[in-house]
């Protein structure tokens, strides 16, 4: 006798999502107790280009500019920092935690044609904005056809 089993596609997808989350949790040691370990996370980043500059925007809410470090070496721009957990009461038991805490770093390789001396960074409302100007020889110009 053949037995029929009803399958719900969304349930299967949820099960798969849980399984993938579990693998990532094990890989990044997210399940470990708070024995001084910190989660690794990467803030979301947008990169825009205009004719004369690149603009990098990094979402780092809940941090101050003192929590963030920006370094440039050999055309490699590295943004790093640490976001601390806001847990204050020992009696609180979290049912769900989606916000990441701990150390992060993002590394970007810059093209040769950027003006490294004039890179500027600002931080406002949880968004770090880094303006990376291009050199004069690398900016786009229109060539007139004769």
| DSSP string covering 70-106 | EEEETTEEEEEEEE------TT---S---S--EEEEE
Using the predicted structure, report yes or no on whether residue 143 has a pLDDT greater than 70: yes
Q: Which tens digit of pLDDT belongs to each residue from 25-76? A: 665 554 444 444 444 788 999 999 998 899 999 999 989 999 999 999 988 9
Q: How far apart are CA 81 and CA 69, in angstroms?
A: 6
Residue 54 domain-assigned (yes or no): yes
Asked if the structure places residue 17 within a domain, the reply is no
CATH label of the domain that carries residue 110: 2.60.40.790
Q: First CA to last CA across the chain, in angstroms?
A: 84
CB 37 within 8 A of CB 101: no
Q: Which domain holds residue 77?
A: 42-84+100-139
User: C-alpha angle with apex 100: 76 to 97, nearest 5 degrees?
Assistant: 165
How far apart are the C-alpha atoms of 40 and 103, rounded to whole Å? 6
How many independent structural domains does the chain possess?
1
108 domain-assigned: yes
Q: What's the CA gap between 141 and 135, in Å, rounded?
A: 13
Instruction: Assess if residue 56 is contained within a domain.
Output: yes
Q: What is the pTM of this model?
A: 0.65
User: Is residue 57 assigned to a domain?
Assistant: yes
pLDDT, mean of residues 106-117: 90
Q: Helix H segments across the chain? A: 9-27
Q: Taking residues 6-20, what's their average pLDDT? A: 67
């Amino acid at each position: 006798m053949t037995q029929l089993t009803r399958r719900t596609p969304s349930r299967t997808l949820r099960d798969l999502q849980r399984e993938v989350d579990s693998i990532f949790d094990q890989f990044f040691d997210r399940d470990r107790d708070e024995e001084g370990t910190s989660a690794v996370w990467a803030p979301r980043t947008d990169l825009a280009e205009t004719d004369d500059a690149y603009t990098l925007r990094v979402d780092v809410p809940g941090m101050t500019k003192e929590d963030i470090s920006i370094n440039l070496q050999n055309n490699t721009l590295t943004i790093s920092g640490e976001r601390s957990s806001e847990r204050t009461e020992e009696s609180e038991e979290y049912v769900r935690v989606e916000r990441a805490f701990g150390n992060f770093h993002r590394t970007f390789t810059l093209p040769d044609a950027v003006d490294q001396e004039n890179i500027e960074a600002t931080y406002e409302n949880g968004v770090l904005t880094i303006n990376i100007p291009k050199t004069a020889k690398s900016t786009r110009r229109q060539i007139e056809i004769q």
